[in-house]
A and B are shown apart, each in its own frame.
Chain A
Amino acid sequence: MNANEYDVIIIGGGITGAGTQRDCAMRGLRTLLIERSDIATGATGRNHGLLHSGARYAVNDAESAEECIKENMILKRIASHCIDETDGLFITLPEDDLSYQQVFVDSCRKAGIGAEIIDPDLARRLEPSVNPDLIGAVRVPDGSVDPFRLCAANMLDAKLHGGQVRLHSEVTGFIREGDAICGVRTRNRISGECEEFRAPVIVNACGIWGQHIAELAGVKVGMFPAKGALLIFAHRVNNMVINRCRKPSNADILVPGDTVCVIGTTSTRIPFEECDHVAVTPDEVTLLITEGAKLAPSLSSTRILRAYAGVRPLVSADNDPSGRNISRGIVCLDHETRDGLKGFITITGGKLMTYRLMAEMATDAVCRKLNVDKPCRTAETPLPGSEERSYEAVARKIWEKPSMAQKAAAARMGTSASRIRTGDRSDEALICECEEVSVGEINDAIDRLEVSSLTDLRRRTRVGMGTCQGEFCACRAAGLLAKAHGCVERERGDLVDFMRERWKGNFPIGWGDTMREAEYTQWVYKHVLGL
């Protein structure tokens, strides 16, 4: 057997691709995942990080609501180190119709979502940041999920089951034999190296970029890019997710996550050319702040850390390339039955919340093609790091008297935190003070999680995601990466790229304290450090 031959190749290193690789690998298949950039660079890393209870969809889309609550309960079991079980509120404000509340609660219950009407006074006590003018509140099992961590844990588990990963490799074409796809050609975007990989089944899990990959394979999947803009605030203003109890609209979800909170989103159709460079406009920023302050009034005076946008992969639901019927549901296409093209599957649509189910559907389709009869076990098997539910218990097991930074590491890595090298005191030195990330944790990410740049490192460890946006930690982390990769010159360029990337999300909200911090950062990097 050739080293470049696999049972299945998955294209796309977002949560769907990583989840699919994990499922395939757990069913004994030899897998390869190919990603043109880094993990979680598309919609996976550019959303709220909301662990939906399904309540948001209960009234209008019962099927999605049911999927969400089932997956919600599964993820709390298998991905506990990526999840914060905060619960959520759906609040009714004076300008909203209170009669919607009953319809909402009935629909939730029908879908199997525990929704409980609570007294507005109790809501104010449970969540002090909530708009005190609220006239109604419903408590639901919403939560927050770190999509970067979730994606990395799936990729890591796939690797532990023998899976291989090629990051920064772009698919440039397919290898065909008659009416079957039997391999891909790739080009590494860093080294320029071209390679070929073969497998009897190839899964297209590229989100909005899936349309392009399908075109390369010679089939058509009609997709519709919808941009969603979000803002990150520099404080964790709320401890529970806050939603509006009304028909879903713009900027009506506020999600706490780690040390910050996120308000979103908008929905705007954009042309395909913009998918790689989505930018947040001043109008979107204004809308997000105005609507966000209705959920939690203190947002209007809270520092904004960053603006960002993602692109939802909306698909025509009924296989109709014209797209008259757009769905947010899961779409799994077997191109053999649909288009007469053997060995090619597209898995798309869906949500971060339902990635595991999507992966199960795609893997079932792969197994049917390969005549493999193995059951899916991803709903019961914890991801690496999630074997234990309480991070404080994890920290106490690893360290006798865990420090704040060690507790933070346990919260990020779960039981995998035991892998952090200790003993040498310099491993305990902090690189990122905002998020309390140590030298040891960064070196662990470099060793195990395929890090080629500071931006990759940020997705895996949260370095540079905190209040200072990389101002203090970027140089320090660059020093470690330079050592690991043995190339300072490349690292200096990487540092420039990293600061550029951080600035992209800062300048749309560049006023007040953000401008202060930006002036400081620009001065230090250009004039003091001499970058």
Chain B
Amino acid sequence: MKFNSVIIGGGLAGLVAGISLQKEGLSTAIISTGQNALHFFSGSFESLREPAPRIAELFSEAGIGIHYSEGVRLMPLGTFREAALSLDDVSIFPTSHFARKALIVGVTGYQDFFGSFLAEGLEKKGIQCRLRNFSLPELDTFRQSAGEMRSVQIAPILDRVWESAVREIRVLLKDEDAVILPQIFGFQDISVPGKIRREIPAKVVFAGTMPPSVPGIRTQRLLKRRYETLGGTYLAGDEALSAHVHKGTVHSIVTKNLDSHYLEADNFILASGGFFSKGMKSNPFQILEPVFGLDVEFASDRNDWYDPDFMKDQPYMGYGVRTDSSLRAIAGGEMMENLFAVGSILGGTRPELGSGAGLAIRSALAAVDEILKTGKR
């Protein structure tokens, strides 16, 4: 099977690269193992602010509403962070004093929404809070089995019965001018959060929960749908195992499912993520990139990989594969002509590209530009 570009990794970076190349009429395939960082997405694109027109267009064409303004956003444990480019689910406020009184509403038995923490954070800002829960008969089956009250289990139900949820919330609402709800609405039906905002006579704020992230999974699905609509080939549940490389040029990829059918391409994009996504692996002696054996920068003494304080920046989280300035990967000190590394596999090696979701989008677009400019078409 031959493509113009083969992308390893189906998360944010891989999908942004795939969509952009397909839009230019290039044929691509994405190899995705399954879970990726969008499954624990906060709803805000860290290190991105006002979106460049092409980023705004990319998300709007995928049906994903994003916005940015100066201000702050409310975090799940009741703290505030500076605003970043965010999904429409995430509210940005000019100041942290955005209401007089807030009603915080959780779902009975759902432990992953931290109402009391939110209340404490808001009350520090002078916002009076009241905590309540609602329950719906449709959610009772989950409560019977104690381990199943999780965001992804209840969100599909709430998509269907959101109107009953709104009724319950309206009964609870007194003179509050803001209602804080968990980000568990709009899993399949993206119109639900907007409808809830319209139906509740107060400012509605969706606050984050423990992962899995409902807005993150929805974003992943919409990007994937957009990619496939453009004709991209998304190989879900497959894994890149190794590559055929000759004189600094990658010819093909061997995957777990395709067995002896290699994926050939003119260009390759490595968007396989950090340690969690297995884009990088480690053993007691070294940190390595498993598919191509790319050069990785890391401290030789393992004691230097960590800071003993959990709250400090951890050196290992900054480790990533080496590239040149055009994001072409480097193996054994030699530049790989047609292999580009993007997203969190870069670690902190390219601080000018930002971190988290910002790094994923910026580096993916930079690699796409490089392919369009210099790569084979």
Contact = CB atoms under 8 A, between A and B. Distances in A.
Interface of A: 282, 285-286, 403, 405, 425-426, 428-431, 433, 436, 438-439, 472, 475-476, 478-479, 482-483, 488-489, 491-492, 495-496, 499-500, 502-504, 507, 510-512, 515-520, 522-524, 526-531
Given A425-B143, A515-B282, A510 B306 contact: yes
A512 B40 contact: no
A429 B149 CA distance: 8
Interface string B95-136: 000000000000011011011110110000000000000000
B76 A529 contact: yes
Given A491-B117, A531-B311, 6 more contacts: A479-B111, A510-B306, A519-B316, A523-B40, A528-B42, A529-B210
A530 B111 contact: no
Contacts of A511: 282-284, 302
B79 interface: yes
A511 B285 CA distance: 9
B81 interface: yes
A451 B112 CA distance: 22
Contact of A528 (B147, B213, B283, B302): B213
The 3 closest A-B pairs by CB, nearest first: A530-B75, A488-B120, A503-B310
25 contacts: A476-B111, A476-B112, A478-B114, A478-B117, A479-B117, A482-B117, A488-B116, A488-B120, A492-B78, A499-B310, A500-B310, A503-B309, A507-B308, A511-B302, A515-B282, A518-B314, A523-B37, A523-B317, A528-B42, A528-B208, A528-B211, A529-B208, A529-B210, A530-B75, A531-B79
A489 B120 contact: yes
B77 A516 contact: no
Nearest to A488: B120
Contact of B147 (A433, A482, A500): A433
Given A511-B283, A512-B281, A528-B213, A488 B78 contact: yes
B120 A529 contact: no
A516 B112 contact: no
A426 B109 contact: yes
B232 interface: no
Given A282-B303, A511-B282, A530 B76 contact: yes
B146 interface: yes
Contacts of B77: 475, 492, 495, 529-531
Nearest to A286: B284
Contact of A405 (B46, B147, B308): B147
B71 interface: no
A502 B46 CA distance: 26
A510 B305 CA distance: 9
Contacts of B314: 518, 522
Nearest to A405: B146
B208 A500 contact: no
A488 B119 CA distance: 9
A530 B282 contact: no
Contacts of A502: 310
Contacts of A429: 109, 111, 143, 146, 149
Interface stretch (B7-15, B23-31, B260-268, B271-279): B271-279
A329 to B, nearest CB: 36
A520 B120 contact: no
A431 B109 CA distance: 10
B215 to A, nearest CB: 11
B40 A403 contact: no
B282 A524 contact: no
Nearest to B74: A530
A379 to B, nearest CB: 39
Contacts of A523: 37, 40, 276, 317
Given A425-B143, A504-B308, A530 B79 contact: yes
Contacts of A520: 40, 276
A413 to B, nearest CB: 17
B302 A492 contact: no
B116 A483 contact: yes
B283 A527 contact: no
B231 interface: no
B42 A403 contact: no
Contact of B316 (A282, A510, A524): A510
A524 B146 contact: no
B356 interface: yes
B300 interface: no
